[in-house]
Amino acid sequence: MATDVQNPTDQSLTSLVGGIVTDVQSLLDHQIKLTRHEIQTDIRHFREAASVVALGGLLAFLGLIPLVFALAYLIFALAPSIPLWACFALVGLPLTAVGGLIAWQGMKKVETIKPLDQSAQAVQETVQWKTDPNQK
């Protein structure tokens, strides 16, 4: 602590090394607590975002069902020579293709998320500093 000021000549090498080891352990403990807090915060934010996305997706899906039927029947009414199954295929195929493309892009984006990069790097630097005393 700042109040434990001692004369440098009164300190032994053993007490200095012991103090350094204590400080490093304290630093590692703080970094572990920070990492744990960061993980909990990331999980909470992800849960909140995922629930909103899920609710929006569900409502959009439920609204899309009658629209798909209506569009297929509209095509059939405008072009009665096309069989009804083909009208549904004309509506369903593009929707499936676009939905699959969007889902693929979303999965690519999820793969790029690295939520603990900063914390892991800080712990790695501390461990490296602890194991390599010549590094400044």
Full DSSP string of 6-57: --GGG--HHHHHHHHHHHHHHHHHHHHHHHHHHHHHHHHHHHHHHHHHHHHH
**How does pLDDT run along the chain (136 residues), one tens digit per residue?**
456 655 555 678 888 888 888 888 888 888 888 888 888 888 888 888 888 888 998 998 899 899 999 999 999 999 999 999 999 999 999 999 998 999 899 888 888 877 666 667 777 777 776 667 565 5
Smallest CA-to-CA distance from 90 within 72, 74, 104 is with 72
Say what the pTM is: 0.49
CA–CA separation, 135 and 59 (whole Å): 57
**Whole-number CA gyration radius for the chain:** 30
Residue 130, pLDDT score? 65
CA–CA separation, 104 and 62 (whole Å): 22
